[in-house]
Amino acid sequence: MSLERNNLALRILPGFFVIFIVLFARLLGLLEPLELFHFDLILKLRRSESQDDRIFLIEIDEKDFLGMGNPSRIPPQELVKLMNRVQEYNPTVVGFNVLTDLIDDTDSSSIQLNSLLETQKNVIIAEKFLPPFIYPLPGIESERVGFVDVLPDQDLHIRRSILGSEDFQKKSGFKFSFSLLMAKLYLEEKGYILNNGISDEFAMRFGKIEIPRVYPNTGGYIRVDNGGIQTLVNYRSGKSPFKKITLRDFKSKDFEATDIENKIIIIGVTDPTRRISLNTPLSSDSDIESNLMDGLDMQAHFTSQIISAVLENRPLIKSWKGVYEYIFISFFGLAIVMWTVLASFHPLKLLLTSILMILLLFLTGYFALSVYGFWIIIVPEIVIIFFNYLIYLLSFYQKKSLKSQAQVEERRKVIERTFNIIHNVSLQKISIILSEVRNNQENNFFIENELEELSQGIREIGDYLKKEELTYEQSLYLENGEKLDLNNELHELFHQVYSKTLKRSFSALKTINVKIRSFDKISSDKMDFEKKRELCRYLEEAICNVGKHSHNATSLVVTGKNFQGFYTLTIQDNGKIEMPINSQGEGTKYALKLSRKLKGEFKREHIPEVGTLCYLRWKI
């Protein structure tokens, strides 16, 4: 039972420690890279979605610049022609994502471009409002100017979109993002007006759809910069989420009129020598260059997720607030630790169960994010499962080692008990025979009878051991086959051992006329069965020694005294000993070993004219 309790503590306490370490590691942000990796992996594994035909992209790539004579900046006349041609097809919204740093403002046609953009009220103009600033064309009303700035995470992946922020340049007012203004203008045509949130008054809302905000500890993030109003991006999956053509294809009319009519048209530069591309959760770590996303596509994803959520109820990504995540992790960890402790598994079975639990966690996280847009944190739970398995494995093999040691100890005790039985039965009988032979060599009938008893006694040893092993824990078998119940009080057991042993056929015991016994009561609540057994064996051996070695004894006094917290078991006879008093037979060695185990004292001495005294004293 003690081993079980120790083993239980060995598994519970490290399990609680692991939960604490995991929570602390998460607070420090050490698990954030793994949690973001899990987030990216789910977005990559989603099935492909249908193309969002509400958005149409026109890119100005490297070949288009070459077709214009490879100028460092775009001639305004090219943009004027493009914008006029686009408006001919009656788009609902036109997103002009060409920043002024790529427009040749020295060209005389720049005034014409500026005037055109002022008059086309369905056009949203892009700017960069974080340093280094890139201002829009002058004269454009601020309500139609949105910023295209993004905030990369520490691994330079774009997972968040800024919807709006304070105007840092004017230090007053509020600015909206380029993608939000396009979605706002498009949804207004559908009857959806931008309002403040209901459950979160600082969030943005179109109709019943509230766009979830990013908090410092949203999902796997730990103390992330959540300046302004941000939301997680639910990128549209698939190889071609939007229709996209080049400027030259547009000039050659390589498209359908329905691709533009009543749609959102976004125009932007994708030439990698003039605009950088960025990593997203859809990027492949093994082939980063081919999976980078340009700013044109990124703004399309930002816009698409808003209008898809409002019009199609496509999920926006949300998660628990930080405190609820820590509560969930704590309760999950406690459940795992207690389940492992209370259940008894082979390590291989627990390994398979742990793997299944991890797969179930991953599938739950995948289903929640891909279907409902809910980001469930699973990395801390997986770490807890992993280390909990290691603790269980160590505990299992430690328990196995302790059990093996206990089995070795038990075998040692069996050997000792076997020897004691042989010593107390057969060897004692041999001592009697040798004594008789020395005293009367002609008494062959007696010798024959004793040898017969010896033979029978040896045969009974095996049966005796089998009986004792079957009921070893709570029983003691004496030489004549009688069983003593070790549940009895110790002083009662002493009475039984005394009475049964005196009936043994030792010649020295037959001459004893005066027999005195007295055993004080002793509580044995705190004494286990093994110690009771050994004390009874000691008393049996001591009385046998009187019968074997004492000569002409006429009195035997056996007492047990309980005095001042000590119990003294005394055996004294008045016979003459037939062996050196200083010699140590097996009985004496056994008594000394028992006294050490009880942390007591054993003494054997010969008192002239009185006899031999043996006593064992231990603290109760």
pLDDT in tens, 585-597: 777 888 899 999 8
Q: Is the pLDDT of residue 153 over 60?
A: yes
Q: Measure the CA–CA gap between 60 and 555, rounded to whole angstroms.
A: 122
Q: Is the pLDDT of residue 253 over 90?
A: yes
Q: Measure the CA–CA gap between 135 and 99, rounded to whole angstroms.
A: 8
Distance in Å from the first CA to the final CA of the chain: 22
pLDDT on residue 602 = 93
Does 171 fall in a domain? yes
Identify which of 324, 313, 448 has the alpha carbon closest to the alpha carbon of residue 377: 324
Which CATH number fits the domain that encloses residue 587? 3.30.565.10
Q: How would DSSP label each residue in 138-193?
A: TT--GGGEEE------TTSB--EEEEEEE-TTTTSSEEEBHHHHHHHHHHHHTT--
The least confident of 228-237, 440-449, 535-544 is: 440-449
Reported as a pLDDT band with limits 50, 70 and 90, residue 40 is very high
Q: Running DSSP on this structure, what letter comes out for residue 424?
A: I
Q: Measure the CA–CA gap between 153 and 225, rounded to whole angstroms.
A: 9
Judge contact between 247 and 82, C-beta under 8 A. yes
Distance (Å) of CA 485 to CA 165, 209, 417: 86, 79, 17
pLDDT in tens, 517-532: 999 998 877 788 888 9
Strand order in the sheet with 264-269: 145-147, 123-127, 93-97, 264-269, 55-60, 243-246
Kindly give the interhelix angle for 428-439 and 444-470, rounded to the nearest 10 degrees: 170
The tokens describing 474, both together, are 């709570």
Q: Measure the CA–CA gap between 377 and 473, rounded to whole angstroms.
A: 52
pLDDT on residue 570 = 94
Does 411 fall in a domain? no
Does 325 fall in a domain? no
**Rg over CA atoms, the chain:** 47
Show which of 312, 339, 358 is a domain's final residue: 312
Highest mean pLDDT among 78-87, 484-493, 557-566: 78-87
Which residues lie closer than 8 Å to 573 by C-beta, 6 or more apart? Answer: 512, 546, 550, 553, 555, 556, 557, 611, 612
The tokens describing 432, both together, are 């009697």
Q: Is the pLDDT of residue 381 over 90?
A: yes
Show which of 261, 277, 312 is a domain's final residue: 312
Identify which of 338, 478, 340, 461 has the alpha carbon closest to the alpha carbon of residue 396: 340
Identify which of 61, 90, 491 has the alpha carbon closest to the alpha carbon of residue 257: 90
Identify which of 22, 29, 34 has the alpha carbon closest to the alpha carbon of residue 362: 34
- Residue reference for tokens 């030792």: 506
Show which of 312, 330, 345 is a domain's final residue: 312
The least confident of 4-8, 58-62, 225-229, 375-379 is: 4-8
506 vs 117, which has greater pLDDT?
A: 117
What is the separation of C-alpha 13 from the centre of its chain, rounded to a whole number of angstroms?
13
pLDDT in tens, 451-489: 556 655 655 555 555 555 545 567 787 766 678 888 889
440 vs 509, which has greater pLDDT?
A: 509
Structural domain of 538: 471-620
Does 56 fall in a domain? yes
Q: Running DSSP on this structure, what letter comes out for residue 374?
A: B
Q: How would DSSP label each residue in 306-331?
A: HHHHHHH-PPPPB---HHHHHHHHHH
pLDDT on residue 606 = 83
Does 208 fall in a domain? yes
pLDDT in tens, 268-303: 999 999 988 999 998 755 544 556 899 999 999 999
pLDDT on residue 609 = 76
Domain count of the chain? Answer: 2
Segment 75-83 shows an average pLDDT of 96
- Residue reference for tokens 């993002």: 177
Distance (Å) of CA 613 to CA 76, 123, 463: 123, 117, 34
H or E segment to which residue 591 belongs: helix 586-597
Q: Is the pLDDT of residue 1 over 50?
A: no
pLDDT on residue 411 = 62
Distance (Å) of CA 315 to CA 59, 212, 297, 310, 360: 28, 10, 20, 9, 22
Q: Running DSSP on this structure, what letter comes out for residue 578?
A: S
Does 230 fall in a domain? yes
pLDDT on residue 470 = 46
pLDDT on residue 288 = 47
pLDDT on residue 167 = 84
Segment 351-375 shows an average pLDDT of 95
Q: Measure the CA–CA gap between 531 and 529, rounded to whole angstroms.
A: 6
**What secondary structure, in 3-state letters, does 240-267 show?**
CCCEEEEHHHHHCCCCCHHHCCCCEEEE
pLDDT on residue 10 = 57
Distance (Å) of CA 484 to CA 81, 204, 496: 112, 85, 8
Q: Measure the CA–CA gap between 610 and 594, rounded to whole angstroms.
A: 26
Q: Measure the CA–CA gap between 333 and 342, rounded to whole angstroms.
A: 14
Burial (0-12, 13-18, 19+ Cβ within 10 Å), 241: buried
Strand order in the sheet with 174-176: 174-176, 160-166, 229-232
- Residue reference for tokens 């057991």: 493
Does 65 fall in a domain? yes
Q: Is the pLDDT of residue 5 over 70?
A: no
The tokens describing 306, both together, are 């808003």
Segment 432-451 shows an average pLDDT of 61
Reported as a pLDDT band with limits 50, 70 and 90, residue 620 is confident
Q: Measure the CA–CA gap between 161 and 166, rounded to whole angstroms.
A: 15
Judge contact between 258 and 66, C-beta under 8 A. no
Does 398 fall in a domain? no
Distance (Å) of CA 199 to CA 55, 324, 505: 30, 17, 96
Judge contact between 326 and 368, C-beta under 8 A. no
Count of other CB atoms within 10 angstroms of residue 273: 7
